[in-house]
Structure 1
Amino acid sequence: MDELAPEAFAALVAPAIDRVFAETMLAGRSMGGRELSEAYGGPPATGYLVDLRTRLGRPDGVVTAGQFAAVRRYGDLAHARDILAGQAERGMLTIAEDGTFQATDRGRAFVQAVYELHAKVTAELWAGFPVARLADLAGRALAVAQDPATWAQTEDGHALAAMAPPFEPFDTHNGATLVNRLGTLRYHRADAHAAAWQAAGLTAAGIVTLPGHSAVRISVEEDTNRGAAAPWRALSPAERLEFLAGLAALPCAAR
């Protein structure tokens, strides 16, 4: 069962989490998400509210400039800040002088509507699957991931700090809870990956273009798995297998 040891499991579960999260978000977009976004002004008004919904959905939820920079470490930060300013101009966010921002009442209403959409979508896609159990397992892993003691030592801050703990209203549907917990868990690994390539002396642009078969890339991925292993120690080997198999079974398109 060595493949279910935390470090090895971190490598196995990452693509499963990515698949379920990404494909479910796409399903949501095609099952009412585009129309919902347009009702609030379209992507120029709503984009980062979707990305950062697990923090911005809270009445007191704020994202600092440094946290936002870590989230956007692979992109054009100046352009991202311009988009953020545009969303503030459209009444979805307020931005303080130090760059910290939070959702307005209208922005939080949009986030709540996104949660409701994801509840509807996952209820349709995942009927008959053990969603509550998977959400519980993800929650136990996430409880460890949220502990700063488990965070990799990045040079540019932690993207996870902009996401965790995820906003979970008491009436959140199990499917929406699972989606948001998976999405948040991804950032624990993302920070571990950033720490690994930074320790190797690479830049964001450099790691993106580094061949997958190169010795440096292989070393970075091994370091990433070590850095991303801690959350999976919260689950027994049998639970890790259950979680992986459960994610693999979830359909992410209409049946």
Structure 2
Amino acid sequence: MNTVELAPHRIAGLLAPAADRVFRAGMLAGRDGGGAVLAQKYGGIAATGFLVDLRTRLAAPGGKVDGPGFAAVTRYQDPVACRRALDKQVAYGMLHRGTDGTLSASERGAAFLAELYQVHADVTEELWAGHDERVSRMVAALGRLLSYALVLVDEEGDAGGSAFTAMAPPYEPDGTPSGVLLLNRLGTLRYHRADAHAAAWAAAGHTAASVAALPPGPERTAIELETNRRAAGPYAALGAEERLTLLADLAALPG
């Protein structure tokens, strides 16, 4: 076996597009499979948008996302537009916003999130039907990755402004179906890579706006390689064969 290809930094790069594809397929299925109708029931996207984005934290009893964490989650969006959207969702009674900018779900927002979890349960069961063993295997592997990532963050110290620490661990009430576990664990792991990417482009002297406009070429390639290096830590929790199995399982899922 060519273990060079299975090194943590290499797998971090290979898994990223596969994880993106599967996660986006699940979220799209959720939107088309009842999520859009559910949002309308609660006032539409203007009322529910950030609840969907922050669902795995705000669905938890007492779950909160602080101001720096929210800024990290939305680092590629216009902060003025984000504030206006938040104002609307607070006005709709879906979110509470503390004087320090900390966000939490209102009672109505929590009810929306409980229904959204059910929508995601239904659509992922259909989307990934016939892949039960594969899904269960990925859920277990991702659980180990996220647990180790949290240990690493704790050891390094969190100075704030991390999307991953704002969103991890995902809320997983007893009885959460495997499809929802997979969807939400993938989403949370993507935030770990997003932080690594932000650290890489910041070290290269970029801003969120300038890196988004950066064309393909040596500079972008260097940032991606540095992202892989920074995102590699959690993959030490898996053996080389387990890393390859995770990649193969993601590639085999429809969506």
The TM-score, its normalising length taken from structure 2, stands at 0.94
1:238 equivalent among 226, 231, 241: 241
Any residues of structure 2 matched to 1:141-152 within 5 Å, and which?
141-147=145-151, 148-149=153-154
1:105-142 per-position Cα deviation (integer Å, ceiling 9, x unaligned):
11111111111111111111112212111111111111
Q: Secondary structure at the match of 1:146?
A: helix
Distance, in Å, in 2 between the alignment partners of 1:65 and 1:45 is: 19
Deviation at 1:2, TM superposition (A): 1.2
Q: Which runs of 5+ in 2 are unaligned?
A: none
Q: In the alignment, does 2:144 pair up with 1:140?
A: yes
Deviation at 1:146, TM superposition (A): 2.1
**Cα pair 1:158 1:191 within 8 Å, conserved:** yes
**Matching residue of 2:104:** 102
2:24 equivalent among 19, 22, 25: 22
2:176 equivalent among 163, 172, 179: 172
Q: Secondary structure at the match of 2:116?
A: helix
Any residues of structure 2 matched to 1:57-72 within 5 Å, and which?
57-72=59-74
Deviates more, 1:116-125 or 1:44-53: 116-125
The TM-score, its normalising length taken from structure 1, stands at 0.94
- Paired AA for residue 238 in structure 1: E
Any residues of structure 2 matched to 1:4-15 within 5 Å, and which?
4-15=6-17
- Paired AA for residue 10 in structure 1: A
Q: In the alignment, does 2:215 pair up with 1:211?
A: yes
Q: How many residues align?
A: 250
Distance, in Å, in 2 between the alignment partners of 1:150 and 1:144 is: 11
Distance, in Å, in 2 between the alignment partners of 1:152 and 1:133 is: 30
Distance, in Å, in 2 between the alignment partners of 1:153 and 1:207 is: 24
Distance, in Å, in 1 between the alignment partners of 2:248 and 2:155 is: 25
Q: Secondary structure at the match of 2:130?
A: coil
Distance, in Å, in 1 between the alignment partners of 2:93 and 2:67 is: 19
1:59-90 per-position Cα deviation (integer Å, ceiling 9, x unaligned):
11111111111111111112101101110111
Q: Which runs of 5+ in 1 are unaligned?
A: none
Distance, in Å, in 1 between the alignment partners of 2:120 and 2:240 is: 30
Q: Secondary structure at the match of 2:171?
A: coil
1:204-229 per-position Cα deviation (integer Å, ceiling 9, x unaligned):
1111111221x221211111001000
Distance, in Å, in 1 between the alignment partners of 2:143 and 2:62 is: 22
Structure 1 runs (4+) greater than 3 angstroms displaced = 149-154
**Matching residue of 1:126:** 128
Q: In the alignment, does 2:229 pair up with 1:226?
A: yes
1:16-53 per-position Cα deviation (integer Å, ceiling 9, x unaligned):
00000011111111111111111111100100000000
Distance, in Å, in 2 between the alignment partners of 1:161 and 1:79 is: 23
Deviates more, 1:33-42 or 1:179-188: 33-42
**Matching residue of 1:249:** 252
Q: Secondary structure at the match of 1:63?
A: coil
Q: In the alignment, does 2:171 pair up with 1:181?
A: no
Deviates more, 1:182-191 or 1:64-73: 64-73
Distance, in Å, in 2 between the alignment partners of 1:28 and 1:201 is: 37
1:36 equivalent among 25, 38, 41: 38
Distance, in Å, in 2 between the alignment partners of 1:121 and 1:63 is: 27
**Cα pair 2:29 2:124 within 8 Å, conserved:** no
Deviates more, 1:4-13 or 1:67-76: 67-76
Q: In the alignment, does 2:199 pair up with 1:195?
A: yes
